Amino acid sequence: MRDPFMVLFGGFIVFTAIALWIALNRPGRKGARTRSETTPARRTVRRRWELTGCVLLAAAGLDVAASYGIGTSSSARSGITVELGLAMMVLAVAWSIFRDEVRRYQLWLGAALYGLPRPAEPAQIKAAEYTGVFLRLLLFLLGLITVLARLILR
């Protein structure tokens, strides 16, 4: 361990992200909201953005703890670092949070490019969902393998 202070600081950042997520989602939370934010759809979108911010804060804490605390940065500048693996895992988690929006955009893009029917058929929706699940799983697993390989082979 290179610097125990940095490991503790990274852990504190992760703890802060978790505490912030709990505070933002406690039952009965009242905040300054405009009238248009009271609809369920707007609340769902707001909660997703709050979750994304907390995930990014936690990822930054893990990055600080792993990179500076235990020294996993690439010394040869090969580009295979823990940061790359963590970025891939964070991307997969963010994609999971916004999967409905990504699927809608994917179906809209397919309809615009290939002339597919505008309300998508159920088979097209299922295919878009399975493609998203496959790519998210692939991103997360490749990120995890990159982190573990870098930690083991350093």
Burial of residue 72 (number of CB atoms within 10 Å: 0-12, 13-18, 19+): buried
Q: What is the pTM of this model?
A: 0.54
Burial of residue 87 (number of CB atoms within 10 Å: 0-12, 13-18, 19+): middle
At residue 134 the predicted structure's pLDDT band, cuts being 50, 70 and 90, is very high
36-86 per-position pLDDT tens digit: 556 767 777 777 788 888 888 888 887 777 777 656 555 555 555 777 787
